[in-house]
C-alpha cells in the first residue's frame, strides 16, 4: 500500500489542477484471489497469447491499435443478506462451487448464473473474453463491503453485451441474481491508448 500511495501522490502532484478526484477506493487482495462474497474471482481470464487478443485493439481500428477499453464499476455488497443464503444457493447464483472453484452446468436452468450471463458469444458462436482485474475493498467498522470491477476489452461492445445480459437477462427478465445482493454505485468507461498514440497526442499539443 505504501508504494501505491506514493504513486498516487506523485501522479496527482504532476497532474495538478488539471484533474479533480471524485472517488478514491483502496482495494486489496483477499485470500486466494477471492472476492468478499467468498468465491474465486477472475477464473475465466484469458492468458498467454489470448490475453493480448482479448484486450488490445487490433488492425480493425488502426489509429487506436494497441489500446484497450476499460470499464470500471464500484459495487457494494449486502453481506448480511448474502450470508443468510445456503452455500448451495450461493453456488447456483455464481455458477461455481465455493470451495474448489468448479464450474456448475446451468445450461438447462431457466435462470442462468452470473458465470453464464457474463459469458459473451457472438452470432458465429465465438466466445469473446475480457480481462477482469477486480479488487475487493471494504471497511468492516463502517459495514462497507464491495468489489471494484475493472474490465479490459479489445471491443467495447463485448462488455456492453455482458452488462446487458446481467441487468436485463437472457431471456429478458432472467437477470443476474447476484444483483439482488450487489449494487453498482459508479460506472465509467475509459479508453487507454497505447504509447505511440500518447506520444503523437503529446507532440501535437506541443506544436
Alpha carbon 47 to its chain centroid, in Å, reads 16
Catalytically annotated residue among 2, 32, 35, 41: 41
Query: What's the farthest any 2 CA atoms get from each other in the chain?
Result: 63
Per the structure, how many domains does the chain have? Answer: 1
Helix (H) or strand (E) holding 18: none
Assigned domain for 37 exists? yes
The radius of gyration of the chain from alpha carbons, rounded to an integer in Å, stands at 19
pLDDT of residue 5: 93
What's the pLDDT score for residue 111? 87
For cell 471494504, what's the residue? 138
Q: Before 171, cis peptide (omega within 30)?
A: yes
Question: Residues 6 or more apart from 45 whose CB is under 8 A from it?
Answer: 51, 129, 131, 132
What gap in Å lies between CA 170 and CA 127, rounded to an integer? Answer: 16
Residue 55 lies in a domain: yes
pLDDT by residue (tens digit) across 137-191?
999 999 999 999 999 999 999 999 999 999 999 889 999 999 999 999 999 999 9
Tell me the percentage of the chain whose pLDDT exceeds 90: 87
In a domain, 19, yes or no: no
For residue 32, is it within any domain? yes
> 191 lies in a domain?
yes
Q: Is residue 4 part of a domain?
A: no
Q: Look at residue 5 and tell me if it is in a domain.
A: no
Do strands 127-128 and 131-132 pair parallel, antiparallel, or not at all (unpaired)?
Answer: unpaired
Contact in structure between 132 and 153 (CB atoms under 8 Å): no
Q: What does the pLDDT look like over 83-132, one tens digit per residue?
A: 999 999 999 999 999 999 999 999 888 889 999 999 999 989 999 999 99
Phi, psi of 64 (to 5 degrees): -110, 15
Residues found in the chain:
207
Separation between Cα atoms, residue 129 and residue 148, nearest integer Å: 19
Lookup result for grid cell 475509459? 190
Q: Quick one: which H or E segment has residue 190?
A: strand 182-192
pTM score, two decimals?
0.90
Does a structural domain hold residue 167? yes
Domain extent at residue 182: 28-206
Q: Tell me if residue 129 is catalytic.
A: no
Amino acid at each position: 500500500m505504501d508504494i501505491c500511495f506514493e504513486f498516487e501522490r506523485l501522479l496527482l502532484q504532476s497532474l495538478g489542477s488539471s484533474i479533480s478526484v471524485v472517488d478514491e477506493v483502496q482495494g486489496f487482495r483477499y485470500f486466494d484471489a477471492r472476492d468478499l462474497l467468498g468465491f474465486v474471482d477472475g477464473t475465466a481470464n484469458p492468458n498467454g497469447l489470448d490475453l493480448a487478443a482479448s484486450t488490445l485493439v487490433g488492425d480493425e481500428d488502426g489509429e487506436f491499435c494497441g489500446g484497450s477499453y476499460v470499464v470500471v464499476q464500484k459495487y457494494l455488497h449486502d453481506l448480511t443478506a448474502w450470508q443468510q443464503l445456503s452455500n448451495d444457493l450461493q453456488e447456483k447464483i455464481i455458477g461455481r462451487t465455493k470451495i474448489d472453484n468448479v464450474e456448475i452446468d446451468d445450461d438447462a436452468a431457466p435462470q442462468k448464473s452470473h458465470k453464464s450471463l457474463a459469458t459473451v458469444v457472438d452470432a458465429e458462436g465465438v466466445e469473446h473474453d475480457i480481462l477482469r482485474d477486480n479488487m475487493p475493498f471494504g471497511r468492516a467498522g463502517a459495514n462497507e463491503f464491495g468489489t471494484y470491477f475493472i474490465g479490459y476489452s479489445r471491443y467495447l461492445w463485448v462488455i456492453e453485451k455482458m452488462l446487458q445480459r446481467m441487468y436485463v437477462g437472457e431471456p429478458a427478465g432472467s437477470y443476474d441474481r447476484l444483483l439482488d445482493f450487489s449494487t453498482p454505485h459508479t460506472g465509467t468507461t475509459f479508453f487507454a491508448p497505447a504509447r505511440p498514440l500518447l506520444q503523437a497526442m503529446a507532440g501535437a499539443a506541443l506544436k
